[in-house]
Amino acid sequence: MTELIPAPRGAVAGTGEVRLTRHSRIYADSATEGVGRWLGAVLRQATGLPLREGREPDDAEGGIRLRLAPGLGPEEYRLVSDGSGVLVEGGSAAGVFWGAQTLRQLLGPDAYRRAPLDRDRAWSVPHLTIEDAPRFRWRGLMLDVARHFMPKEGVLRYLDLMAAHKLNVFHFHLTDDQGWRIEIERHPRLTEIGSWRARTKTGHRASPLWEDKPHGGYYTRDDIREIVAYAAERHITVVPEIDVPGHSQAAIAAYPELGNTDVIDTTSLSVWDTWGINPNVLAPTDNTLRFYEGVFEEVLELFPSEFIHVGGDECLKDQWRRSETAQARIRELGLADEDELQSWFIKHFDAWLSARGRRLIGWDEILEGGLAEGAAVSSWRGYAGGVAAARAGHDVVMCPEQQVYLDHRQDPGPEEPVPIGWVRTLEDVYRFEPVPPELTPEEARHVLGTQANLWTEVMEDHARVDYQAFPRLAAFAEVAWSALPAPAERDFAGFRRRMAAHYGRLDALGVAYRPPAGPLPWQRRPGVLGRPIDGPPPHR
């Protein structure tokens, strides 16, 4: 009856159905008119029905009413389908929007199409009452567009896919060694030089294969404004990531003075064309700080998000150990070592962002050498970083690579395309628990939520991203939204049954997911070397 994903908190079936006809209207007031516009647009194109908009309900049959209900939480909603039509109410416009997403699911897979298959077909919603609310406030997806660039249209498409699964934070990984993807007006060479590489490693870095053609692209400031606005209409917050002080070769290739010039010839560097951890990191100089302050000033203009992600991961310290400039800064600041130098770097931007009303978030390496006051942590190297941060009173987003890195392979079989990392099946993701059991209730309140990550070293286009993301992102969405029992007690058989209906929705949306029976011939990448890791992933 309600093959819904993610599963709602409660659903009670009634008897009968609401029919949508050419006389049906969508009623929204000033507080919900944005949701009404979105719902009307998607349903009109899928059904071919006029679904005219109205302010006050009339006697038109099968109406859909959207309104706020002050007693509900911010993202909580109630959907009632009965003899008077369909009512979707929420504690805020966001809650109404998530209820509208549920309504779309109830209409069937063809409600996700962009044109009606049959203008004479009947559209109906079963009589029922659904009451629902999310478990976490941060239900995220990180998309890496630095390793392989995704054009703007693809990013907008992923925002729609996130919204369909009630995910609400888009972590936009915009810079790395392999490309700089955001226009910065005061530093034009970041995109003139830093957004393109001459060639690209095909497969894992140990692979002998190369794609010998330039790869790249970037988003203009107006592209970014459009992406942020499109996300906001879907009640998704975009959190940008500008990586410092590691993962910065693309920036150094554009502006060599940003690197450790007393150690290497930074003018010889180009945008990196392979994968792995890069030794070329930013120099801890005042010039570097001023440069990135200018970058972040423009980032803040474009992104209204509370959090700004600064990376902070995988910063090799070898160049700093050999650099007299870096060593002089360590002595000047009275620091113990290079780890504390990185901590100083991150703390500088924590204070800088705080002074402007924003909050810094970074990968869990920012714990090394002392965590910046007020900073939040994306815990990726397992649970330990998140546990340490929460116990120290810092907010945490749980995204351990052993559980929710969706670039990791989905099956041990030899036909998986470019197999990376541990095997993480659909069931494995469904049984992921974001809150470590060793946290006390007070500490657990620092877990803002959870996030799935898509790193795109071996994902050359949107079809490969789809394959790695789906169907596992649907399982992750349920973990992030629904109040599920302990992992061992979760009803995976029931989830798999609901997925049978959900595949139809993904088909209608054109998602190139991994079929349950395994990859289709064109989804395979025979002969392209990956980096599979055998055995179960560690739980730490």
Say if residues 422 and 434 touch (Cβ distance below 8 Å). no
Whether 298 is catalytic is no
Report how far residue 530's alpha carbon sits from residue 173's, in angstroms, rounded to the nearest whole number.
Answer: 22
Whether 314 is catalytic is yes
Say if residues 220 and 155 touch (Cβ distance below 8 Å). no
Report how far residue 258's alpha carbon sits from residue 11's, in angstroms, rounded to the nearest whole number.
Answer: 57
User: Out of 204, 247, 309, 446, which one is annotated catalytic?
Assistant: 247
User: Out of 75, 89, 176, 241, which one is annotated catalytic?
Assistant: 176
User: Out of 314, 339, 340, 415, which one is annotated catalytic?
Assistant: 314
CA 461, 465, 466 angle in degrees (round to 5)? 115
Q: Is 256 exposed, middle or buried (0-12, 13-18, 19+ CB in 10 A)?
A: middle
Q: Where are the beta strands (DSSP E) in 174-306?
A: 175-176, 179-180, 196-197, 200-201, 210-211, 215-216, 237-244
What secondary structure, in 3-state letters, does 481-516 show? HCCCCCHHHCCHHHHHHHHHHHHHHHHHHCCCCCCC
| Residues facing residue 82 across a β-bridge | 85
Q: Is 10 exposed, middle or buried (0-12, 13-18, 19+ CB in 10 A)?
A: exposed
Report how far residue 11's alpha carbon sits from residue 7's, in angstroms, rounded to the nearest whole number.
Answer: 9
Of 334, 453, 451, the residue nearest 395 (C-alpha): 451
Q: What are the DSSP calls for 334-380, one per residue?
A: T-SSHHHHHHHHHHHHHHHHHTTT-EEEEEGGGGTT-PPTT-EEEE-
Whether 176 is catalytic is yes
Catalytic machinery residues = 176, 247, 314
